[in-house]
Amino acid sequence: MEKQLLHITVNNEYRELYINPKRLLVEVLRDDLALTGTKRGCNTGACGACTVMLNGVPVKSCSVLAMQADGAEVATVEGLAEGGKLSLLQRSFLDHGAFQCGFCTPGMLMSATALLKEIKKPTKDQIKEAIHGNLCRCTGYNSIIRAVRAVAEGEYKERG
Ligand code: FES
Ligand code: FES
């Protein structure tokens, strides 16, 4: 199949690359752009490990063709830390032990980051709803929810 030119902005960096139009967004992120923070688990849209933001909306990148992101802005977990500083949510995940193996963590962080951008102080139910498509097989969800709530409750501040 003839390759097509993909124009995409990932973590605020504009990229152009020729790809087979059948390739998935998760493949291009991981294999072409070396952004391996985005995980590939089930590959069927069920686990959420591959969650990224597409124009600010969380999507499962194993369920999106890369060409569907042509001209779009994509944010991955690598873009959360700015200038070497972890985001508030990343710090809270660390402090609350909100991961063990960490496989689900990038997807969880992207879903929760999108939630906090939309709703500053989400309720527990809203947090549960936001991460309901992200499966964790080890930590248990309580510590993840606590970590998100701590940020929502203003327990974390930007460091100067
Ligand atoms: S790898 Fe995409 S949802 Fe599981
Ligand atoms: S921390 Fe292992 S899957 Fe969530």
* Number of neighbouring beta carbons within 10 Å of residue 15: 14
Nearest CA to ligand 2 atom 3: 136
| pLDDT confidence band for 26 (50 / 70 / 90) | very high
Domain positions in the chain: 4-79, 88-152
CATH of region 4-79: 3.10.20.30
In the predicted structure, residue 159 carries a pLDDT above the cut 90: no
Q: How far is the CA of 38 from the centre of ligand 2 (A)?
A: 13
With beta carbons less than 8 A apart as the criterion, state whether 57 and 37 touch: no
- Length of the chain equals 160
Q: Is 1 exposed, middle or buried (0-12, 13-18, 19+ CB in 10 A)?
A: exposed
In a 3-state reduction of DSSP, which class is residue 160? coil
Strands 57-60 and 51-54: antiparallel
Do 4-79 and 88-152 come out as alike in CATH topology?
A: no
With beta carbons less than 8 A apart as the criterion, state whether 100 and 138 touch: yes
pLDDT in tens, 86-96: 999 999 999 99
With beta carbons less than 8 A apart as the criterion, state whether 41 and 138 touch: no
With beta carbons less than 8 A apart as the criterion, state whether 70 and 6 touch: yes
In the predicted structure, residue 131 carries a pLDDT above the cut 90: yes
Nearest CA to ligand 1 atom 3: 45
Among 65, 41, 62, CA closest to 52: 62
- Give the per-residue pLDDT at 110: 98
Q: Taking CB atoms and a 6 Å cutoff, what residues make up the pocket around ligand 2?
A: 99-104, 136-139
* Number of neighbouring beta carbons within 10 Å of residue 8: 23
| pLDDT confidence band for 160 (50 / 70 / 90) | low
Ligand nearest 52 Cα, by number?
1
Q: Token pair 């930007």 is at which residue?
A: 158
Q: How far is CA 34 from the centre of its chain?
A: 15
Pick the CATH number of 88-152 from 3.40.1190.10, 1.10.150.120, 3.40.50.300, 3.40.50.1100: 1.10.150.120
In the predicted structure, residue 51 carries a pLDDT above the cut 90: yes
pLDDT in tens, 56-85: 999 999 999 999 999 999 999 999 999 889
Atom of ligand 2 nearest to the CA of 139: 1
